[in-house]
Structure 1
């Protein structure tokens, strides 16, 4: 019944995993630099800019708030990861 649609979702998920890993590689480097210079994990101004950027990048405006929510969760995951790296 949903074979085609689920195959498309599976293909997208495969790409998202690769992109997430790439993003986390960059986060790991940011965490290393923050630790070296004793900088806080949270940079609220940066987070606000990212959220505004993804809201504006979202072409289908019906998805804009969902995108913002997704990125809030994503940034929470990365902050938790950074905190672990700074221990």
Structure 2
């Protein structure tokens, strides 16, 4: 098998794992949004977001990827906030 195809198959496997992890993360974000709604808390917790990003970058072996990891996590957190806002709005309707 050609090297390119082998590498693409590895990426496909990782993408499947990412999808599974994404779904798990969104399920947890929904639960967190429900708790925030019950407690009258704001969706945005900028201090928490900064801490998550800082912690993730600290675990990064290749620090050259720091900017890309931060962008990835910010996008992921934006999706989490959107789903929380949607659930809260839906509960209010």
Matching of residue 56 in structure 1 with residue 81 in structure 2: no
Q: Where does residue 7 of structure 2 map in the other structure?
A: 5
RMSD (CA atoms): 0.9
* Matched residues, number: 87
Which of 64, 69, 72 is the aligned partner of 1:70? 72
Give the structure, 1 or 2, with the largest relative contact order (CA under 8 Å, sep 6 or more): 2
3-state SS in 2 of match to 1:64: helix
- The alignment's TM-score, normalised by the length of structure 1, stands at 0.94
Structure number with greater Rg is: 2
The residue that corresponds to 1:15 in the other structure is 17
Unaligned 5+ runs, structure 1: none
> Secondary structure of 1:86's match?
helix
Distance (whole Å) between structure 2 residues aligned to residue 61 and residue 27 of structure 1: 27
Q: Which structure 2 residue ranges, 5 or more long, are not aligned? A: none
